[in-house]
Each structure stands twice: as C-alpha cells, then as structure tokens.
Amino acid sequence: MMDIQEVLLIHETLIAEFRGVNGVRDYNLLVSAINRPFAGTNDSEFYPTTYLKAAAVIESIVKNHPFIDGNKRTGYVVMRLFLLSDGLDINASQDEKYEFVIEIATGNLTIEDITSWILNHLIQL
C-alpha cells in the first residue's frame, strides 16, 4: 500500500522534473484516491487484483484532480508503481500512454475501460 507521504513526494518530484505548480488542491480527494484501491466490505475487496487497484488509483487521481497541477502525470506514475510492486508493467508507446491518460481525464473511459487498457498492455517482469 502506498501512503499519502509517498504520493506527495512522487508529485513533488514530477513537478520539479517536468515543471508545473506544486501543491494539493483537495487533501480529502487525495486521501480518497489513495485509499480507493483498498476499499471493500468485511468479506471482500472491490478491487482484489493489482491491475484493478492500479485502474482505481489512476482513475481517482486523474479524474478527481486532488493536486493543483500534475494530476495526469502523478496518476500514471502511481498506477505504474502499483503494477511494478507486483512484478508487472505496461508495454505501450509514449503516444498510447498519453492518449490513455487524456481519455481518462476527459471522462471518455470508464473503470472497466481503464482496466481493459491496462490488461491489454500488461507485461510480467
């Protein structure tokens, strides 16, 4: 599980590297986005697999805009870190990755679409 401090550091690093405005726009949305992959009921998880967790976190960060700037970058990196923590990664061109994140941001992809894209580009390391 990734904690809030790790995500804040990832965001800060991305802003420093690629420019933009550092800072959190809505702390509660950020906490919600980070916790969403682990949501469930007493006897089951809503997102029981790594790729479902990855889909939930990227959708939450990219669509809900918890940061002032850099939501798409941060969401994509956090998604990849979820996958990498389980020996998985994405095999896609820069253009495919860019289009994927833009489609999430514009609301054109559902959680099912996001999950499908991840599965179609998933590789085992």
Please report, for the chain, the start and end positions of each structural domain, with discontinuous segments joined by +.
Answer: 4-124
pLDDT at residue 2 is higher than 90: no
pLDDT in the model for residue 90: 98
- Dihedral of CA atoms 58, 63, 66, 68 in degrees, nearest 10, equals 110
Report pLDDT digits (tens) over 32-65.
999 999 999 988 999 999 999 999 999 999 999 9
Domain 4-124 has CATH 1.20.120.1870: yes
Q: What ranges in the chain are assigned the alpha helix state H?
A: 4-18, 27-35, 50-64, 71-84, 94-105, 111-121
pLDDT in the model for residue 47: 96
Could you tell me the pLDDT band of residue 117, with boundaries at 50, 70 and 90? very high
- Cα(52)–Cα(37) distance, rounded to whole angstroms? 7
Summarize the confidence of residues 95-116 as an average pLDDT: 98
- Cα(101)–Cα(67) distance, rounded to whole angstroms? 16
Exposure pattern of 17-32 as b/e (b: 16+ CB <10 Å)? Answer: eeebebebeeeebbee
To which H or E segment does residue 124 belong? strand 122-124
pLDDT at residue 91 is higher than 80: yes
Taking the model in full, what pTM does it have? 0.94
Summarize the confidence of residues 14-39 as an average pLDDT: 96
